[in-house]
Amino acid sequence: MGSSILLVDDSSDIRQLVGTALEFAGYDVSTAEDGQKALDFFARTPKDRYPVVVVLDIMMPNVNGYGVLEGLSRIGYNGKVAIFSAVEKEDRAKLAGYPLVSAVIKKPSDIKTILDTIGGLIGESGDQDVPKEGTL
């Protein structure tokens, strides 16, 4: 079993496509469809089983990505967060205020970029098998 990842995105297509690519690359992937579901995931998961990386969209219903970042800070999450969103310049400036954010992957992005970025955060080589080229 590979490193664990929580993929948080309100798009079922993104969750399915990126989740499948991450699983294909050997990661143990859990998903959440919005920020509240992500926070619920952490509430029911023992700290020693928290994911190593959270891949997080910003614009979501219920609780947005900023709310998730604040919740993760409150519970003492010490993993890494990769923002996967259509971020603008203003978003990047705001994200700089969140120490948990270790990477920003701008949508749309290809699978190889996503896998390379996450592999870099975990400390693995960027040579994972890529299921197929495409832009998400």
**Would residue 135 count as lying in a domain?**
no
Question: Per the domain annotation, does 129 fall within a domain?
Answer: no
pLDDT at 124: 64
Which residue stretches of the chain are H helix? 12-24, 35-44, 65-75, 89-95, 111-122
State the total domains in the chain: 1
In a domain, 128, yes or no: no
Residue 78, in any domain of the structure: yes
Instruction: Look at residues 65, 72, 130, 133 and name the one whose alpha carbon lies nearest to residue 104.
Output: 65
In a domain, 18, yes or no: yes
Q: Which two tokens stand for residue 21?
A: 């690519």
- pLDDT, averaged per 10 consecutive residues of the chain (136 residues), comes to 90 96 96 98 96 96 95 96 87 85 92 94 60 43
For residue 27, the enclosing domain spans 4-122
130 belongs to a structural domain: no
Q: What is the CATH number of the domain that holds 113?
A: 3.40.50.2300
Q: Rounded to two decimals, what is the model's pTM?
A: 0.88
